[in-house]
Structure 1
Amino acid sequence: MSRILLFNKPYGVICQFSRDGMHPTLADYIAVPDVYPAGRLDTDSEGLLLLTDDGKLQHRITDPKHKLPKTYWVQVEGIPGEVALERLRRGVQLNDGMTLPAEVRAMAEPAGLWQRDPPVRFRKNVPTGWLALTIREGRNRQVRRMTAAAGFPTLRLIRYSIGDWSLERVAPGKWLSLDI
């Protein structure tokens, strides 16, 4: 039987157990031996990080050939219209090539969303919007680069789900253990 941890990574935490002297790490939140991250989230991103004690499961989660869907809640600068959403749906040209098509829809700010520390920067005269964006690849800072290419820079990025696993019952800085 394999063990998987669903961790709601706060902003500013790095996705490693070893300390770098500058940021909080997974070791500050998870005192479970022999689990390792299956993928990563940038320091300035929040949300679901999976950890497991099963190397084969870790590989299946992270290997692009399995194309597990990853859904993000994305707060962007501006209010994307249908033209921008359709551009994301078709795929966006980035400096490292064309992305696969994404599933994307405008959404209201997620209900019960926790406050971020530090807060997101706001500009008085520029509204913000929220997107639910699902991708099936995982390039470096891909979601941020995609929304910027569509003309809507990312202000806040929360990974909500990977495959069938989600943040549904996991508070920020907390984790849930599942045997699978």
Structure 2
Amino acid sequence: MPLLVLFNKPYDVLSQFTDNSTPPRPTLANFVPLKNVYPAGRLDRDSEGLLLLTNCGQTQHQLSDPKHKAPKTYWVQVEGEITDDALTQLRQGVQLKDGPSLPALAKRISEPPLWPRTPPVRYRANIPTSWISLTITEGRNRQVRRMTAAVGFATLRLIRSQIGDWQLTDLQPGEYRIVEL
């Protein structure tokens, strides 16, 4: 039976089941005891949030193939007070080293109700931070971080909250929910 696993990937966990480094780093195997499920896409080690896993090759292809362009929404904490100009640039697409990004949905948001991160995000009393919601339809390497940097705002914390119709909802870091397809 085809399954979809919604997993809240904690910070500093690899989006794979094995790691050959010494000492080994935390992987999906530390949290997801299910057999024959594989990530549909990836989430960088220093990013948190929704990662989808499935036991169905067709589903995996549809979720991770760039030509299907499933929108992905991220909550992004940036260093400094995000400006209207920076949001406009993100909405229009920004120039990256590997070419221009597609336009994104970008808006300022209040700090979402999140779990504490371990280790905590660096804090500087004299530099404020702000939060944006950013929805992209591409999946380039470290794209969200590169996009916010291109408009002058370093990403401090990055949480993927949604992929297509699938949402993180109330899953805590390391928790997963199984959905039958």
The reply on whether 1:3 has 2:3 as its aligned counterpart is yes
Q: Give the structure 1 partner of residue 154 of structure 2.
A: 153
Q: Could you tell which deviates more after superposition, 164-173 or 19-28?
A: 19-28
The CA deviation string for residues 89-134 of structure 1, in whole angstroms up to 9 with x for no partner, is: 00000000000000010000002x1000000001221100000000
Matched, 1:69 2:56: no
Task: Quote the residue 1:101 is aligned against.
Answer: 103
Give the Cα–Cα distance (whole angstroms) in 2 for the partners of residues 32 and 46 of structure 1.
20
What is the CA distance between 1:172 and its match in structure 2?
Answer: 1.0
- Provide the secondary structure at the position in 2 that maps to 1:5: strand
Q: CA deviation at 1:169?
A: 2.7
Q: Which amino acid aligns with 2:55?
A: D
Residue of structure 1 in register with 2:15 after alignment: 15
The residue identity in structure 1 corresponding to 2:37 is: V
Residue of structure 2 equivalent to 1:142: 143
Aligned residue number for residue 32 of structure 1: 34
Out of 75, 84, 87, the position equivalent to 1:85 is 87
Give the distance between the partners of 1:157 and 1:94, measured in 2 at CA: 19
Q: Distance in 2 between matches of 1:98 and 1:81?
A: 20
Query: Is 1:60 matched with 2:71?
Result: no
User: TM-score if structure 2 supplies the norm length?
Assistant: 0.97
Give how far 1:15 is off.
0.8
Give per-residue Cα distances to partners, 1:123-180, cap 9 Å, x unaligned.
2211000000000000000000000000000000000000000110311110000001
Q: Whole-Å Cα distance in 1 between the matches of residues 142 and 166 of structure 2?
A: 21
The one-letter code sitting in structure 1 at the alignment partner of 2:7 is: F
* Matching residue within 23, 48, 51 for 1:49: 51
Could you list the runs of 4 or more consecutive aligned residues of structure 1 that deviate by over 2 angstroms after TM superposition? Answer: 19-22
The yes-or-no answer on 1:110 pairing with 2:103 is no
Please, which runs of 5 or more residues in structure 1 have no aligned partner? Answer: none
Per-residue deviation, 1:81 = 1.3
Structure 1 SS opposite 2:171 = coil
Where do 5+ consecutive residues of structure 2 fail to align? none
Q: Percent identity?
A: 60
Over aligned residues, Cα RMSD in angstroms?
0.8
Find the aligned partners of 2:151 and 2:19 in 1 and give their Cα distance: 36
